[in-house]
Structure 1
């Protein structure tokens, strides 16, 4: 039942900021950019992968520098 307060707060925020018209969209966009850049730079999948070491598609490569001994 924890999603009910979250849903209510989102609806209240939309109702309060809805009077600002396009300024509301600018605030939402700025908030989304802030989350993407500072809070979750790796995205949701990066957060899950970092905590669980889960890798569904382990395709990738590792760059090896020739001047560093292996």
Structure 2
């Protein structure tokens, strides 16, 4: 196959980029209340995904410095 490869212009990513082009609403009509289970003032969180596995909450947190942290509770 002879396919021509073209380069796309580079995308400038600033500190506010999250990589997702849509917001997913929580689907509630009242404020969600609770207490923080994890906080890191030195390396701000930029993305969070959570999953429940065998009655444990598993949370992966992306940080501003590019690290991924894993938190487990339950």
TM-score range, shorter chain: under 0.3
Which protein has the bigger strand share? Answer: 2
Higher relative contact order (CA 8 A, sep 6+): 2
Which protein has the bigger helix share? Answer: 1
Larger Rg: 1
TM-score (normalizing by structure 1): 0.26
TM-score (normalizing by structure 2): 0.25
